[in-house]
Chains A and B, each alone.
Chain A
Amino acid sequence: MRATLRRVGTTLTVLALAVALNFVIPRLMPGSPIRALGRGGDPGQLTEAQRNELLDRYGLNDSLWVQFRDYVTGLFRGDLGIALSDGRPVSTHIGETIGWTLLLVGTALVVTTVLGVVLGTLFTTSRRKGADDVGLSTSLALDALPPFWFGMLLILLFGVTLGWLPTFGAQSVFGGGGFLDIAEHLVLPVATLVITGLGQTYLVTRSSLIGVLGSTHLAHARVRGIPERRLRYRHGLRAAALPIHTLVMLEVGWLISGAVVVETVFAYPGLGRLTFDAVQARDYPLLQGAFLLLTVTVIVANLIADLTYPLIDPRTRGSAA
Chain B
Amino acid sequence: MTTIDPRVAGADGGDGADRRVDEVVPARRRRFRLGVPGTIGAVLLGVFVFVALFAPWLAPYAADERPGLPFARPSDEFPLGTDDVGKDLWSLLLLGTRTSMVVGVGTALLAIAFGALVGAVAGLVRGWADTIAMRSVDVVLALPFLPLLIVASTFAGRSVTAQILLIAALTWARPARLVRSAVLEARTRGHVEVAEGMGATRTRLLWRHLSVGTAPILIPLFLRAAMAAILLEASLAFLGLGDPSRASWGTILYWANVRSAFLTDAWRWWVVPPGAAIALLVVSMGLVGVAIEARLNPARREQP
Interface residues of chain A, those whose CB is within 8 Å of chain B, are 6, 9-11, 13-14, 17-18, 21-22, 25-26, 28-30, 133, 136-137, 140-141, 143-150, 152-153, 155-156, 160, 204, 207-208, 210-211, 214, 243-244, 246-247, 250, 253, 256-258, 260-261, 264-265, 272, 275-276, 279-280, 282, 287, 290-291, 294-295, 297-299, 302
Contact = CB atoms under 8 A, between A and B. Distances in A.
Count class of interface residues, chain B: 35 or more
Contact of A294 (B144, B154, B240): B144
B155 A207 contact: no
Given A148-B253, A265-B257, A298-B143, A26 B283 contact: no
Nearest to B267: A156
A150 B238 CA distance: 13
Interface in B126-175: 135, 138-139, 141-148, 150-152, 154-155, 157
A272 B235 CA distance: 13
A188 to B, nearest CB: 13
Contacts of A295: 143-144, 147-148
A29 B235 contact: no
A279 B154 contact: yes
Contacts of B301: 207, 210-211
Contact of A143 (B147, B155, B286): B286
Contacts of B256: 152
A104 to B, nearest CB: 14
Nearest to A24: B155
Given A10-B139, A152-B262, A298-B143, A204 B304 contact: yes
Interface stretch (B47-55, B108-116, B274-282): B274-282
A22 B152 CA distance: 10
A68 B234 CA distance: 34
A211 B299 contact: yes
Contacts of B278: 144, 146, 149
B41 to A, nearest CB: 9
Contact of B141 (A253, A275, A294): A253
A26 B139 contact: no
B286 A299 contact: no
Contacts of B250: 146
Contacts of A207: 300-302, 304
Contacts of B157: 30
Nearest to B293: A207
A144 B150 contact: no
A156 B267 CA distance: 8
Nearest to A144: B282
Contacts of A13: 135, 139
5 contacts: A28-B155, A143-B286, A208-B304, A260-B235, A276-B239
Nearest to A261: B235
List the 4 closest A-B pairs by CB distance, nearest first. A149-B275, A257-B146, A144-B282, A140-B286
A160 B263 contact: yes
A14 B147 contact: no
B206 interface: no
B147 A256 contact: yes
A250 B146 CA distance: 14
Given A260-B239, A279-B150, 10 more contacts: A14-B143, A133-B37, A140-B287, A144-B231, A144-B283, A210-B300, A211-B301, A253-B141, A256-B147, A275-B151
